[in-house]
Chain A
Amino acid sequence: MTASRLATSGGFIDRSRPIRFSFDGKTVHGFAGDTIASALLANDVAIVGRSFKYHRPRGIWGAGVEEPNALVDIGGSTPPTPNTRATTEPARDGLEAKSVNASQSALADRNAFMDRFSRFIPAAFYYKTFMWPDWHMFEPRIRAMAGLGKVDKDWTSAGSADQINHHCDVLVVGAGPAGLAAARLAAAAGQSVVLVDDQVRPGGSLGHRDSEVDGKPAKNWVDETVAGLAAAGHLILPSTTAFGIYDHNLVGLNQRHPDGRQDTLWRVRPRHIVLATGAIERPLPFANNDLPGIMSADAALSYLKRHAVLVGRRIVVATNNDSAYEVSEAISQAGAEVTLVDIRREGMPATLANVRLLKGRSLASASGKLRVDGVTLDDGTRLDADCVLVSGGWTPTIHLFGQAKGKLAWSEARAAFLPGDPVDGISVAGAAAGTVSLKDVFASSAKAVASLGHTKAAAPRSSGPEATAGISPAWPMPGSKGRIWIDYQNDVTAKDVELAARENFVSVEHLKRYTTLGMATDQGKTSNLPGLALMAGITGRTVPEVGTTTYRPPFTPVPLASFAGARVGELMAPVRRLPLENVHRGDGAVFQEYGGWLRPAYYGNGDAERSIQDEARRARQSVALFDGSTLGKIEVIGPQAGEFVDFLCYNTMSTLKPGRCRYGFMLSENGVVFDDGVLVRLDEHRFVVSCSSSHVAAVHARLEEWRQDRFGRGAVYIHNATSDMATLTVSGPNARKLLEALDLGTSLDDADLPHMAVSHGTYAGDEVRIARVSFTGDRSYEVSIRADRAEPLWAHMRKAGQVFDAVVIGLEALMILRAEKGFIVIGKDTDGTTLPHDLGVDGPRTKRKTEFVGRRSMFTEEASRDNRMQLVGLTVPQGEAPLATGAHGIERRDGKLKSLGFVTSSYQSPTLGRAVALGLIERGAARHGETIEIQHLGKVRKATIAAPCAFDPAGDRLHA
């Protein structure tokens, strides 16, 4: 028995609430308030994991976010989460924790043999081998060996994670002494404050370092300060990590909940940010410094004071700085036998009560098989120990400052990088700014908030003993004996850094990538600085000359679910819905998504193909009803409306008479057909652009752009009325008869309402617009009415249609009807290269005299090419199945297969009793009658090129 729970003290645990959980199948006892790590230590579990590469046994190093070793997969009473940090995860009753990267258990790992081959698998060894016969031979085994925790394949989400947006005057990151003081001062200056801290309880180092503030024990001062802030309405978020600073100083927070609920993502937009993020203790370099039982001195003090865990009985403390003296005294007082080894001869007291003090000495190596059993000093002295505490100095936590593109400045006195020139809206206080004594810490807090206005409160005063900052650097040295770990989790040793230098990977980013130093889940919080200091030593440069790697978010890992928030399922990308969706559902519609709209594909719950064929056949026989509400209806109104639509459209539109419609294209400036549709001229100064359903937003944006950029605000006004109105289409030989039965109060005589004309009527007191345009080739009327009044009209249409055997059709049947006619769908029968003359509409290109969008592009070399792909019909012999859409026309040229173009639409036509197809085929317009080969998934068929229109080419049915 070495580590143990003491009978008294431990301010963070509640001894009245014992808990039990398991680690690698063994029961662990703890108390509410324990982390998984503190409970494991209290139960003297020394080995908590295995390293990534060599499968070395590893113990707990730290007491916070910097922990490189103690990663566990958790489950049981808590939702399964891989790679959880045992040092920050609260212990919960019934939780099941499993060590990662260990086959069986951390204690008995089948892959432990890897360590014996370590000399053959140094950093980046994989680049030098596995090439013969082939990497594929080796990769599966390497993959299986890599990775840490396991994904639970049966995991299901417990619901979406909350996301909260918040504004405040001042965001203070870190609720240690610096952060608390800054928050209090900012609050007293009338600022609204958000104070976040990644620990369960605020206080930071005051939770375990002896100190006194304003004449009272630090603990009381922490409680009073927090209570005062909360009472004044400021927001205090414990268990919350500020993980990233993004553009314009937006800060991302990851809030964890004690009840195990999903983490919450906060997006905070403060006017000012105070980073009081503290500092992280570094390891010391000596051989086998990764053995279980070797841990951060400050962490040991934290476990002692917060959780009443004494981490050993016979403890060697090794340090290069002043901070370990307090640790040595405290653990000695708690009952351990302590030897303090200080690399320095000078500074600090020469003696400590009950502590054996060895000055001017350092650790050369540690020994032990599965956990440390002793150390050897540089003079050869051997000391037995069941625990070794090390303090290699302090690395200010300046990740967020770095993320905000703050420049760092090297401090020789602190042996660390400190924040350099200030960044707009960000100040740094406390240990993160390199201050050590509480007096300096509080002074830095006052300075950090000084720009925020006059504060009514005085800065807190330190009234107890002060910490001192003395340090003598103890970086890893080139040529050191033994295996000295730099990055514990990724198994990077000093020799690996030396190897990288030898092979010219001397830039800091090369060092990182080549050795993987700092790329593990702890992101190098304990390893980066020692690693680059070693590189500096090897290459004869200073540490700042080597520089640091880029600080990248997140500071600590953040659940993916937090970023997604409520954007799951349909909320991820909402579909647009028809006003009559429920009516269609009642009629048995089967819905599919088309261009962002959820629309009836067909009706009936039987065989899809049969339903579609039946709808298409019956539509031609009598009359069909179709919900065309998705059709774009963008109004262009104003004195220059005619000129405006002429510029936007390929076809001249200003010659249209009021009450008439015209079909045409809109082009992009590169000449490509962007959309097609019917333009309606309602009166002299008012047009309606009926664009394709999926293009409404884009067409609207385009109209606005040209309006503002070319015509000016006074020329036209644009209103997108698409969702204001439902459009119900009646099509077929009996369309007029059906419409007449509705009594719309307007003449439907062909003389009054010919094809491509528009008129207005009323239905149940509401105005309706009736446009006689056709996408089926049959006589058709598009009746538009206020969306919220469409249902009675639709019901009336259905009822009136009964005598005509009317059929309600979905989009799939409509696709057949329009394909029979050779009518195109943009984006399906065209692609991103199709120009208007490829579709047989050459008139405006050659004849128009006025400017229009895309005009100059009609005359490029590309547009004038004689072998362009052109719209054609494709026919197959009677009785043959339709061609596959997406099949290519092929020919052999110079022995090579070449595509001539492809099938864009292909259907069985129930009316014609044969297959019809459209395609884009090279020089197709001039090749009608020619038979070509069509290839689909390796199989070749023959098809004959024809005119696009396969049904009623004379167009008689429009007027029938």
Chain B
Amino acid sequence: MQLFPCPFCGPRDETEFHYGGDAGNVRPDGTEVPTERWAEYLYLRTNPKGTAREVWVHMTCSEFFVMERDTVTHKVLSSTALGGEHAA
């Protein structure tokens, strides 16, 4: 059982969180977005072995935040609220 630090609620059990994807995967708008670019946004993932920067949601408070953690050791490196700006 991992403990994740919600920036709003503090450390909580992993079961309260939901993975939201790569941080920085910015949505391209419009119908003119090239096919490959749209597929990249929809499907391609960095999936790093080691340090990862990801968007998570703490389901019990509904807040999204960015967490840096190590996907091998499961060590949590940082967690930051979105702070009003879009996840980047």
In the assembled complex, A250 has its CB within 8 A of some CB on chain B: yes
Q: B29, B73, B84, B85 — which one has the most chain A CB atoms within 10 A of its CB?
A: B29
Residues of A within 8 A of B31 (CB): 855-856, 858-859
- Chain B 50-63 interface mask (CB, 8 Å, partner A; 1/0): 00000101010011
Please tell me if the beta carbons of A709 and B35 are within 8 angstroms of each other in the complex: no
Cβ-neighbour of A857 out of B2, B38, B64, B86 (below 8 A) = B38
Cβ-neighbour of B63 out of A248, A708, A858 (below 8 A) = A708
Known: A247-B74, A248-B1, A669-B42. A710 touches B86 (CB 8 A): yes
Residues of A within 8 A of B42 (CB): 669-670, 857
In the assembled complex, A752 has its CB within 8 A of some CB on chain B: no
Q: Is the interface of B mostly helix, strand, loop or mixed?
A: loop
Give A contacts to B, CB under 8 Å.
Answer: 246-248, 250, 267, 269, 405, 669-670, 701, 704-705, 708-710, 712-714, 851, 855-861
Known: A705-B20, A851-B29, A856-B33. A246 touches B86 (CB 8 A): no
Please tell me if the beta carbons of B1 and A267 are within 8 angstroms of each other in the complex: yes
Please tell me if the beta carbons of A705 and B64 are within 8 angstroms of each other in the complex: yes
Shortest Cβ distance from B37 into A: residue? A856
Residues of B within 8 A of A708 (CB): 63-64, 82
Residues of B within 8 A of A701 (CB): 18, 57, 59, 62
Q: B21 to chain A: closest CB distance in Å?
A: 10
Q: B82 to chain A: closest CB distance in Å?
A: 6
Please tell me if the beta carbons of B1 and A250 are within 8 angstroms of each other in the complex: yes
Known: A248-B74, A701-B57, A860-B35. A709 touches B1 (CB 8 A): no
Please tell me if the beta carbons of A713 and B1 are within 8 angstroms of each other in the complex: no
In the assembled complex, B30 has its CB within 8 A of some CB on chain A: yes
Residues of A within 8 A of B64 (CB): 704-705, 708-709
Known: A701-B57, A704-B62, A860-B35. A709 touches B86 (CB 8 A): yes
A selection of 8 A-B contacts at a CB cut-off of 8 Å is A247-B14, A405-B73, A701-B18, A708-B64, A709-B55, A709-B82, A856-B30, A856-B31
* Alpha-carbon distance A669/B26, docked complex (angstroms): 13
* Alpha-carbon distance A690/B75, docked complex (angstroms): 41
Shortest Cβ distance from B82 into A: residue? A708
Please tell me if the beta carbons of B35 and A710 are within 8 angstroms of each other in the complex: no
* Alpha-carbon distance A714/B63, docked complex (angstroms): 14
Residues of B within 8 A of A250 (CB): 1
Residues of B within 8 A of A714 (CB): 84
Residues of B1-27 whose CB lies within 8 A of A = 1-3, 14, 18, 20, 27
Shortest Cβ distance from A713 into B: residue? B84
A269-B1, A705-B57, A712-B85 known; 18 new pairs, CB 8 Å cut-off, are A246-B1, A248-B1, A669-B42, A704-B62, A705-B20, A705-B64, A708-B64, A709-B55, A709-B87, A714-B84, A851-B29, A855-B30, A855-B31, A856-B28, A856-B30, A856-B33, A860-B35, A860-B38
* Alpha-carbon distance A785/B4, docked complex (angstroms): 39
* Alpha-carbon distance A712/B33, docked complex (angstroms): 24
Q: B3 to chain A: closest CB distance in Å?
A: 5
Shortest Cβ distance from B87 into A: residue? A709
* Alpha-carbon distance A861/B36, docked complex (angstroms): 12
Give B contacts to A, CB under 8 Å.
Answer: 1-3, 14, 18, 20, 27-31, 33, 35, 38, 42, 55, 57, 59, 62-64, 73-74, 82, 84-87
Q: B37 to chain A: closest CB distance in Å?
A: 9
Q: A711 to chain B: closest CB distance in Å?
A: 9
* Alpha-carbon distance A269/B59, docked complex (angstroms): 22
* Alpha-carbon distance A214/B52, docked complex (angstroms): 53
8 closest Cβ pairs, A-B complex:
A247-B2, A250-B1, A708-B64, A856-B38, A851-B29, A704-B62, A248-B2, A247-B74
Residues of A within 8 A of B57 (CB): 701, 704-705
Residues of B within 8 A of A267 (CB): 1
Shortest Cβ distance from A668 into B: residue? B42
Residues of B within 8 A of A859 (CB): 31
* Alpha-carbon distance A156/B78, docked complex (angstroms): 48
Residues of A within 8 A of B63 (CB): 708
* Alpha-carbon distance A247/B20, docked complex (angstroms): 21
Shortest Cβ distance from A848 into B: residue? B31
* Alpha-carbon distance A708/B58, docked complex (angstroms): 13
Residues of A within 8 A of B3 (CB): 248, 269
Q: A947 to chain B: closest CB distance in Å?
A: 30
Shortest Cβ distance from A856 into B: residue? B38
Shortest Cβ distance from A720 into B: residue? B62
Please tell me if the beta carbons of B27 and A710 are within 8 angstroms of each other in the complex: yes
Residues of A within 8 A of B85 (CB): 712
Residues of B within 8 A of A713 (CB): 84
* Alpha-carbon distance A713/B62, docked complex (angstroms): 12
Shortest Cβ distance from B55 into A: residue? A709
Residues of A within 8 A of B35 (CB): 860-861
Residues of A within 8 A of B74 (CB): 247-248
Q: B43 to chain A: closest CB distance in Å?
A: 9
Residues of B within 8 A of A861 (CB): 35
* Alpha-carbon distance A326/B82, docked complex (angstroms): 66
Residues of A within 8 A of B33 (CB): 856
* Alpha-carbon distance A247/B15, docked complex (angstroms): 13
Q: A196 to chain B: closest CB distance in Å?
A: 18
* Alpha-carbon distance A250/B14, docked complex (angstroms): 12
Residues of B within 8 A of A704 (CB): 57, 62, 64
Shortest Cβ distance from A861 into B: residue? B35
Q: B4 to chain A: closest CB distance in Å?
A: 9
Residues of A within 8 A of B1 (CB): 246-248, 250, 267, 269
* Alpha-carbon distance A96/B20, docked complex (angstroms): 54
Q: A215 to chain B: closest CB distance in Å?
A: 44
Q: B31, B82, B86, B87 — which one has the most chain A CB atoms within 10 A of its CB?
A: B31
Residues of A within 8 A of B27 (CB): 669, 710
Q: B46 to chain A: closest CB distance in Å?
A: 18
Residues of A within 8 A of B38 (CB): 856-857, 860
